[in-house]
Structure 1
Amino acid sequence: MTALPGIALDEWRAQGQGFTFKGHAIRYWVTGAADAEPLLLIHGFPTASWDWHYLWKPLAQRYRVIACDMLGFGYSAKPRPHTYDLLEQADLQQVLLAHLGITEPVHVLAHDYGDSVAQELLARHQDGRLPLASCVFLNGGLFPETHHPVLTQKLLLSPLGPLLGKLFSRAKLKANLDKVFGPHTPASEAELDAFWSLIAHNDGPAVMHRLIRYILDRRVNRERWVAAMQATAVPLRVIDGALDPVSGAHMVARYRELIANADTVLLEQIGHYPQTEAPAEVLEHYLQFRDRLEAKTCSDVLS
């Protein structure tokens, strides 16, 4: 499959814009036609919205694509002390949409930590608080019972977390990503440099033990989020790297048990970061999902 060119981190950073959320500076990116359907991309832990850089321009050919570095990530503020939680990150996404004047139903594409934020947005849709048009999840802990965190994540959540964060380094990042990327699609040295730059910006390692509390948030909100996924009429799809030890094929198996008529795609040789390991495949399966939705919409209008 043809490789996608991507965007260099310096170029990506230069394209960012800013707004304020609860007194904190947030960086966000928007591209595509202003009258196109809005597509919100939500990144994972511990990286940032540059994770989407391979998909950014191709998706912008069809949609108005929106992403931000969430609070505590990338080029956004990393306040400390601060109690980070997933509900606040969902608030941030809604404030960003309001800042951009978007009131129509939004499509969501999420990864990892972002999956949990997307689950909260879906629950808010069910409550009538936010209109969603569709939601696609990449690898992430949709169910606490199938989330297998790596040792570093477990230690960050422990009393050793503050110390471990201070000692976190590019070398430790590489060691952790080597465990979760597919064996044939490891992160390149340039990607590792970029990932580390985003984490290290504004002393990000100092808040990693605070951000990792999302694992506890998932447990608290599990029943509400799963109930929303089971009840919703919003079209859902999972595109998942099967070899991911954190949330790979075993998570998809659980998804199929819990979600009726589950729409799932397994990328057999890919790990935890499909949007960087196999971006062309993710794009293909995402656009296929959207094309099917559009065909159904046209059929419903004509019937």
Structure 2
Amino acid sequence: MKCFSISVVVIAILYAPYLLPDPPLPTNPSELPTAVQEWFKRGRMVDINGHKIFYIQLKCSNRSNKSPSTFAILHGFPSSSFDYHEVIDDLTSAGNVILHDHLGFGLSDKPVANFTYSLSEAAENTLEVWRKAGIKNAHVVAHDMGDSILTEILARRHRGMLPSYFESFFKSVTFTNGGMKYSMIKFRISQTLLSNVYFGSYFSKLSNRFYMAEQFSKMQLQSVWGPNIDVATRDKEIHYTIQLCNYRGGSLIFPKTIYYLWDRANFEFRWFAALKDLDIKVRFVWSDADAVSPLSIPNYFKQIIPHMEMSIINDAGHFVMLEKPSAWIDKVIKPLI
């Protein structure tokens, strides 16, 4: 009888995440922090393949620059274009800028039913955002998951699969701090758990419905910031990131949006050949203290892309544009002006 009672308790605990409701999450921009609300006001929504994608398109603020370049920015997982709010003014001083939130992230739609968050779909959406925004050519700067979206686009370019609109689109490409070489990623516990095909969905329900997700996310994000940063700034930025993840249930679909990791593992052979043969300027700008995407990654690509340029930002972690915005501008943007 005692064993039976214990079994009932264990089963009840295991099934509890499926019986409890999801936590209340923000569904309106007015429920987000003031800084994020101001970011939302700077952008607009565009319909892409039946879903609304948030983007910001800004003209160069420097009137002395008569023919400014355009910088197209791609954000990473699990964040959004808001990662660049500390550098946006310097970006617009240097040229025109376009940023967007990938589907499932930030202020964009977060579809659940009958939708897979593959890098292929993200690439399709990115190209359509650029086309609808009327971008003719750009320096493309990517970070984290954005690196892999960019490599998928470049693989299509390499194979002659891009629409004619993009024939002369790329002025340069810059990769920053991303797990582009799957075997070299220093996975966080959350990445391992959420991407597990058997346990990911259960872990997501467990952490969200027992109100543990926010604290767990905070701990995981803290672990990838640099070692000598201002803690108050770090925690403020992490709070913004978590709120944007929670917006309209984004944190509930992490097991879907993290699917991009499997694409990374499966399509390296396709992407690396394209990078090796690129006929445009290729740059890698990396920080030296990234706990998830270490310097071994750009060093690996230096062996297969002999013509690539590499620059290192010292004493910084994964989110350099937030940790050291001035250094990010100096290393990433100024060499392209």
TM-score by length of 2: 0.80
Amino acid at match of 1:172: F
Q: Does 1:60 align with 2:92?
A: yes
What does residue range 145-224 of structure 1 map to in structure 2 within 5 Å?
A: 145-158=183-196, 159-166=198-205, 167-168=207-208, 169-185=213-229, 186=231, 188-224=234-270
| Structure 1 stretches of 4+ moved >3 Å | 33-36
Report Cα offsets for 1:16-74 as digits up to 9, x if no partner.
20111121111110112496322110000001000011121111123210011100001
The alignment partner of 1:84 has SS state of: coil
* Alpha-carbon distance in 2 for matches of 1:162, 1:93: 27
Q: Secondary structure at the match of 2:105?
A: coil
1:140 to 178, 181, 206: 178
1:253 to 299, 302, 309: 299
Aligned to 2:157: 125
TM-score (norm 1): 0.89
**TM-superposed deviation, 1:163:** 2.7
Q: Measure how far apart 1:77 and its partner are.
A: 0.7
Give 1:279 shift.
Answer: 1.2
- State the Cα RMSD in Å: 1.8
Q: CA deviation at 1:126?
A: 2.3
- Code of the aligned partner of 1:67: L
1:46 aligned to 2:63?
no
User: CA separation in 1, counterparts of 2:248 and 2:95?
Assistant: 32
Q: Are 2:122 and 1:89 equivalent residues in the alignment?
A: yes
- 1:289 Cα deviation from its structure 2 partner: 2.4
Q: Which runs of 5+ in 2 are unaligned?
A: 1-33, 62-66
> Aligned residues, how many?
284
Q: What per-residue deviation string (whole Å, max 9, x for no partner) do you get for residues 131-181 of structure 1?
A: 311111110012112122211101001122113223253211210012111
Decide whether the 8 Å contact of 1:125 with 1:132 is kept in 2: no
Gaps of 5+ in 1: 1-6, 292-303
Which letter maps to 1:65? V
Q: Secondary structure at the match of 1:12?
A: helix
* 2:44 is the alignment partner of 1:17: yes
Percent identical? 29
Aligned amino acid, residue 194 of structure 1: Y
Letter in 1 for 2:222: D
Structure label with greater radius of gyration: 2
Q: CA deviation at 1:91?
A: 0.7
Contact conserved, 2:281 with 2:308, CA < 8 A, in 1?
A: no
